[in-house]
Structure 1
């Protein structure tokens, strides 16, 4: 799959899951290096927010935006995923009230499984997936130009819709 970064074209390692697909399982580590699995969130709506580098303005804004909006969602968990180190993620989070799970993809297994790995720059492509409580993809956006923000409102609307289905 083609994506660009400031106009330069890059290729990901595959195709990202499509709407209707079951989200592939994964195990990542949180800020305390505790393993976190997708199955830990079964029964909840999940937003998977992936980004190339927490230390850049667009990635920080994406994580901030979903972190702020997550506080308003009652039955939705936001998992923010990058290839940054634990220390880089902890530094970013140090002065914030965190409502999302910051997860690091040390071995790039998540990025590779989801077709989002960009080997040329060793980064995860910017994408957002919303999963229903069974783990099925109900919303998918792979941002073609990685320097741009995802469509927050569409992703949040999909999550709100799934939350309404829980009631």
Structure 2
């Protein structure tokens, strides 16, 4: 699949899971080095916000927006994933005053399982997934232009309706 970064075409390698299919499980570490598995949230809807680089403007905006919205919606687990290092993520959270579940995919296992790695950038694509209580993907939005913010309202509505 091809997307653009500031108008320049880049390719995402792999196959993305489709809406209606079971979300691939993953195991990633959070900022306290605990292993977090998608399967840990069985029975709870999950919104996964994937950002290419937490230290960029749009990724920062996206992460802060979902963090703010998470506080308003009960019964939905919000997770942000990037392939930044733990230290980069921790520094960003400290600088922004954000306390949230943020996972680092520094070894590329999530990017591979979800077909989201962009070799030309060495980063993950910008994607939002909503997974229902049964573990099926009910919403997927891959940003066709990486430097643009996603449709927050559409993703949040899907997440609210999945409760």
The TM-score with structure 2 as length reference comes to 0.97
**Structure 1 portions without partners, runs of 5+:** none
In 2, distance between residues paired with 1:123 and 1:93? 19
In 2, distance between residues paired with 1:66 and 1:114? 21
Say if 2:124 is the partner of 1:130: no
Q: Which runs of 4+ in 1 moved over 6 A?
A: none
| 1:78 counterpart SS class | strand
User: Could you say which residue in structure 2 is the equivalent of 1:153?
Assistant: 153
In 1, distance between residues paired with 2:30 and 2:18? 26
In 2, distance between residues paired with 1:15 and 1:64? 28
The aligned length equals 162
Pick which of 10-19 and 130-139 moved more. Answer: 10-19
Shift of 1:29: 0.5
- Indicate if the aligned counterparts of 2:83 and 2:123 stay in contact, CA closer than 8 A: yes
What value does the CA root-mean-square deviation take over the aligned residues? 0.9
User: Could you say which residue in structure 2 is the equivalent of 1:121?
Assistant: 121
In 1, distance between residues paired with 2:82 and 2:46? 16
Deviations 1:119-144 (A, max 9, x none): 12210000000000111000110000
Deviations 1:15-40 (A, max 9, x none): 31111010001000100111110011
Please list, as runs of the form range in 1=range in 2, the aligned pairs for 1:98-109 lying within 5 A after superposition.
98=99, 100-109=100-109
**Structure 2 portions without partners, runs of 5+:** none
| 2:155 counterpart SS class | helix
Shift of 1:112: 1.1
Pick which of 70-79 and 9-18 moved more. Answer: 9-18
